[in-house]
Chains A and B, each alone.
Chain A
Amino acid sequence: MITTADKQATTSLPPSNHEFAEVVHRLEAGGSMLPDNPENLKQIIGIYKAYAVPMDFYWRDLLYIAEHVFLNPLPAFKYFISEKYLNRPNAYAGDNADLRIWRGEADAHPELREFMAQGERKRKLPRLFHHLWHDRVNMEFAEACMLAMFWHEDINPTFNAYLETDEYRANSDRAIRAYFKGNPVMLGLYKLFPDMFLEQVRRLSYYANLGLFWEVMAPVFFEMSDLYDEGKMTTVPEAMDFLVNGIFAVAGRPIYHHVYIDGECYEIIPKSQGFTWLYEAALPYVEAVFYRTAPFRGTKSYNAQAGQVPADQKDFHYGILYADVFPVGSAGIPPTLLMQDMLHFLPDYLIELYQQHGRGEDDMLVQLGITFQRSMYNVTSAVIQALRTALLYPLDDSNLDHLRANRAFFEQQMDRFKRPEARLRDIQSQNYR
């Protein structure tokens, strides 16, 4: 098991001269970008739990859309997830798990079911009323994440190359014809505009991709929350190490896209393609969602001609690691949708913490947004340490050249946080709330 915190370099390098030398040294000692103190631990674990409950809806509904709603031209009910998908056993929880990460049950989380029944208004109404009142899980956030992965296509080359193959086209064609069987209007449109339909299927393949990614993360976060409540997770590096071990344990999980039409399974992306959770889902997700995304409409006017938006997509920096949580906190944009979702499932200890700071309950969305930012710096630290473990050398390696290679890798990662929008500086202090 990886326990980076226990490992200290026995052969030492001279101190780093990097702007974030303190963070580089902490990473070299097996730590996280987030300083290790009890309050940071409380904040990140509390928010992981609050994130995992809506995430339990996101992954189920993403797969429901990818596998069942499919090319419905009027998908008004795509967020009305079926009971079958609420009961669908998570592959990493419950007695029959492929690999049991969470000791809890495999079907939808009880807090999620309660929220779906009663909403914020605490009234049991038909689902349609909750939906029209927007008193529901903000699935639009999950779709925004999916679109970020879909749009930043350079970060997932192997997966995207398959989406352009004749094999993928043939698989999609079979499913499209089966789905619109007996519907001459849609089949006629397909004949006229085949590429438009194919592009929609590609998008749905990303629904499946993200759904399979988050199916893993929800039980990981639930288990971390339970371990913290039991007093078995006591430091920030322990929380990071749990994530590192989780990343490795499920790295080889297949990423695929199956569609079910009239009870028959159509394999758009078969498991036999060899796509994996780590390479085709987790790493692209982190790059697309934590770092890049895209400017959110309605929060600020950007003048592309004046260079306010980078010319290259790879230089986009609108993810949570760079977000100014306060002005971004406008209604309707993806980060606020998530904050609103997490607000419903905060543990009591986080609510008490927020009441002691800022404007108490009045600015809780902002406070929890900054907590979320801290927690995602810790997840990103886990990804950085996992990549270092997979591609480079142990932290206690006795070869100085290997330690230099680790140092260069950590410094290269920290270079991405030199730009003024990055929040790495801010999260070093507890005054940032």
Chain B
Amino acid sequence: MPSIVDIAVQTEGFSTLVAAVQAAGLVEVLATGGPFTVFAPTDDAFAKLPPGTVQTLVDNPPQLARILKFHVVAGCWKKDDLMTQHELNSLESSPIPIRVSPIFEVKNATVLAADIEADNGIIHVIDNVILMG
């Protein structure tokens, strides 16, 4: 089964996320570590951010890594596992609020595709870049 990184690379619409993961130096950990649950923002999600936001982060890998780690949780959390879970602790250490019903939402992002299985975890595709706070 492909890894989280393999799926992101092979799927259309995640080129910004893949570039960000590479710039932040997180490829190896997301390819071989885990298991993780990744909330993966689409290219459209990154494009919603005001001009300069992504570039400043890409220019500063530790800061970019921190934002990306907010999108990753330790363990495999499928949608059904989250029915009774109101929040998860991200690898960044800040909590991520979760709502499954009536629609599957992660903080202020909506899940566009849930439960994509990878060798080392689960991917949920989201329509916004989520931020701590």
A, B: real partners: yes
Q: Given B53, B56, B62, B133, which contacts A274 in the complex, CB threshold below 8 Å?
A: B62
B60 and A279: CB pair below 8 A?
no
Q: Given A1, A273, A279, A393, which contacts B62 in the complex, CB threshold below 8 Å?
A: A273
B50 and A254: CB pair below 8 A?
no
Q: Contacts A2-B50, A273-B62, A391-B131; is A249 near B56 (CB within 8 Å)?
A: yes
B133 — which chain A residues lie within 8 A by C-beta? 279, 283, 387, 390-391
B49 — which chain A residues lie within 8 A by C-beta? 248
* B59 on interface, CB distance cutoff 8 Å: yes
* A155 on interface, CB distance cutoff 8 Å: no
How far in angstroms is the closest Cβ of chain B from A412?
14
Residue of B nearest to A279 (CB): B132
With contacts defined as CB atoms under 8 Å apart, how many contacts are there between chain A and chain B in the complex?
64
A254 and B63: CB pair below 8 A?
yes
B52 — which chain A residues lie within 8 A by C-beta? 99, 245, 248-250
How far in angstroms is the closest Cβ of chain A from B83?
19
Q: Contacts A98-B59, A272-B62, A274-B62; is A251 near B108 (CB within 8 Å)?
A: no
B: number of interface residues (CB 8 Å): 21
How far in angstroms is the closest Cβ of chain A from B95?
13
Interface residues of B in 34-88 (CB under 8 A from A): 49-53, 55-57, 59-60, 62-67
A390 and B62: CB pair below 8 A?
no
B53 — which chain A residues lie within 8 A by C-beta? 248-249, 251-252
Residue of A nearest to B59 (CB): A98
Q: Contacts A98-B56, A390-B133; is A274 near B63 (CB within 8 Å)?
A: yes
Complex CA distance for A192 and B112, rounded to whole angstroms: 61
Complex CA distance for A249 and B52, rounded to whole angstroms: 4
A2 — which chain B residues lie within 8 A by C-beta? 50
Complex CA distance for A402 and B53, rounded to whole angstroms: 24
Q: Given A1, A245, A274, which contacts B66 in the complex, CB threshold below 8 Å?
A: A274
A249 and B50: CB pair below 8 A?
yes
A244 — which chain B residues lie within 8 A by C-beta? 50
A387 — which chain B residues lie within 8 A by C-beta? 133
A344 — which chain B residues lie within 8 A by C-beta? none
A245 and B50: CB pair below 8 A?
yes
Complex CA distance for A421 and B5, rounded to whole angstroms: 54
* A276 on interface, CB distance cutoff 8 Å: yes
Complex CA distance for A224 and B50, rounded to whole angstroms: 17
Kindly supply a per-residue 1/0 record for chain A positions 47-73, scoring 1 wherever the CB is within 8 Å of any chain B CB and 0 otherwise: 000000000000000000000000000
Q: Contacts A274-B66, A392-B108; is A248 near B50 (CB within 8 Å)?
A: yes
Kindly supply a per-residue 1/0 record for chain B positions 9-33, scoring 1 wherever the CB is within 8 Å of any chain A CB and 0 otherwise: 0000000000000000000000000
* A253 on interface, CB distance cutoff 8 Å: yes
B64 — which chain A residues lie within 8 A by C-beta? 252
Q: Given B50, B56, B107, which contacts A252 in the complex, CB threshold below 8 Å?
A: B56
How far in angstroms is the closest Cβ of chain A from B133?
5
B→A interface (CB under 8 Å): 49-53, 55-57, 59-60, 62-67, 107-108, 131-133
Q: A245-B50, A276-B63 are in contact. List 9 more A-B contacts (CB 8 A).
A: A245-B51, A248-B50, A248-B53, A252-B53, A252-B63, A254-B60, A275-B63, A391-B133, A392-B108
Kindly list the 5 A-B residue pairs having the minimum CB-CB distance in the complex, ordered from nearest: A249-B52, A252-B57, A248-B50, A274-B66, A274-B62
